[in-house]
Amino acid sequence: MSALRQAMALSLAFLVLLSIGGLVLDDIVTEEFRAETEADLREEFQQISAGFRRDGAFPREIDTAHVFSDRGIGYAVLLADGTVLGPVQPEAFDLRGFDILEGEALFEPEAYEALERIFELLEEDDSDGQPIAPQQELFDVEFEAEADLGWRIYAGPVLDGVLIVYAPGISAFGSDLTTVILFFVILLSLPAIVVGLIFGLRAQRRLNHIGAGFDRIADGDLSVRLAPARVRDDIDELTVRIDGATEKLAASIRQMSDFSANIAHDLRTPLTRLRLHLEESERAEDPQAHSAAAIEQMDNIIAIFAAIQRIARLKGHDRRDGFRTFSLAAVAVQAHDIYEAVAQDAGQDLSLRVEEDATIQGDQSLVMQLLANLIENAIRHAGEGAVITLKVVGNVLSLSDTGPGIPEDERDRVLDPLYRLDRSRTTAGAGLGLAMVKAIADLHEADLQLMFGPGGVGLTVQVSFPPGMAPSKS
Partner 1 sequence: MRILLLEDDADIGAWTSKGLGAAGHVVDWIENGREALIAASTRDYDVLVFDRMVPDLDGLSALRTLRGARINTPMILLTALGAVEDRVEGLEAGADDYLSKPFAMSELLARITALSRRGHGEGDAPATKLSHRGLELDLLSQTCTCHGTAVPLNPKEFRLLEVLMRSKGRIQTRAMLLERVWDINFEPSTSVVETHMSRLRNKIEKPFDAEYIRTIRGSGYMFID
Q: Which stretch binds partner 1 (CB under 8 A): 70-78, 228-236, 333-341, 448-456?
A: 333-341
Question: Whole-angstrom Cα distance, residue 229 to residue 237?
Answer: 11
- By CB under 8 A, residue 310 contacts partner 1: yes
- By CB under 8 A, residue 379 contacts partner 1: yes
Indicate the residue among 338 and 457 with the shorter CB distance to partner 1.
338
**Which is it for strands 151-158 and 97-101: parallel, antiparallel or unpaired?**
antiparallel
> In angstroms, how far apart are the furthest CA atoms of the chain?
158
Choosing from 106, 141, 147, 307, the residue that interacts with partner 1 (CB under 8 A) is: 307
Strands of the sheet with 396-401, listed across from one edge: 349-356, 387-393, 396-401, 459-464, 447-452
# binding residues, partner 1 (CB under 8 A): 32
What residues does 162 pair with on adjacent strands? 78, 157
- By CB under 8 A, residue 305 contacts partner 1: yes
- Report, in Å, the least distance between residue 429 CB and partner 1: 6
* CA 304 and chain centroid, separation: 47
Indicate the residue among 106 and 311 with the shorter CB distance to partner 1.
311
- Report, in Å, the least distance between residue 310 CB and partner 1: 5
Question: Whole-angstrom Cα distance, residue 19 to residue 22?
Answer: 5
Q: Are 361 and 323 in contact (CB under 8 A)?
A: yes
Q: Would you call 71 exposed, middle or buried from its count of C-beta atoms within 10 A (0-12, 13-18, 19+)?
A: middle
Please list every residue from 106 through 135 that binds partner 1, using CB under 8 A: none
- Report, in Å, the least distance between residue 319 CB and partner 1: 6
Indicate the residue among 149 and 307 with the shorter CB distance to partner 1.
307
**Which is it for strands 84-85 and 74-78: parallel, antiparallel or unpaired?**
antiparallel
Q: Hey, is 86 helix, strand or coil?
A: coil
Please list every residue from 206 through 265 that binds partner 1, using CB under 8 A: none
Q: Which stretch binds partner 1 (CB under 8 A): 109-117, 249-257, 309-317, 397-405?
A: 309-317
Q: Hey, is 465 helix, strand or coil?
A: coil
Q: Which stretch binds partner 1 (CB under 8 A): 8-16, 26-34, 108-116, 365-373?
A: 365-373
Please list every residue from 390 through 449 that binds partner 1, using CB under 8 A: 428-429, 433
- Report, in Å, the least distance between residue 235 CB and partner 1: 45
Indicate the residue among 138 and 308 with the shorter CB distance to partner 1.
308
- By CB under 8 A, residue 313 contacts partner 1: yes
- Report, in Å, the least distance between residue 372 CB and partner 1: 6
Q: How many CB atoms are located within 10 Å of the residue 176 CB? A: 15
Phi and psi for 127 in degrees, rounded to 5? -75, -30
* CA 83 and chain centroid, separation: 81
Indicate the residue among 78 and 311 with the shorter CB distance to partner 1.
311
Choosing from 167, 217, 308, 437, the residue that interacts with partner 1 (CB under 8 A) is: 308
Q: Helix, strand, coil shares of the chain as percentages rounded to 5?
A: 60, 15, 25
> Tell me, what DSSP letter sits at residue 318?
-
Q: Hey, is 343 helix, strand or coil?
A: helix
- By CB under 8 A, residue 325 contacts partner 1: no
- Report, in Å, the least distance between residue 281 CB and partner 1: 15
Indicate the residue among 37 and 369 with the shorter CB distance to partner 1.
369
Indicate the residue among 98 and 323 with the shorter CB distance to partner 1.
323
DSSP states of 243-289: HHHHHHHHHHHHHHHHHHHHHHHHHHHHHHHHHHHHHHHHHSS-HHH
- By CB under 8 A, residue 150 contacts partner 1: no
Q: Which helix (H) or strand (E) holds 370?
A: helix 364-381
CA angle 351–357–363, rounded 5-degree value? 90
- By CB under 8 A, residue 337 contacts partner 1: yes
CA angle 211–215–221, rounded 5-degree value? 125
Q: Which stretch binds partner 1 (CB under 8 A): 4-12, 72-80, 93-101, 375-383?
A: 375-383
- Report, in Å, the least distance between residue 413 CB and partner 1: 20
Q: Hey, is 68 helix, strand or coil?
A: strand
Q: Contact residues for partner 1 (CB under 8 A)?
A: 292, 295, 302-303, 305-310, 313, 317, 319, 322, 334, 337-339, 341-342, 345-346, 365, 368-369, 372, 376, 379-380, 428-429, 433
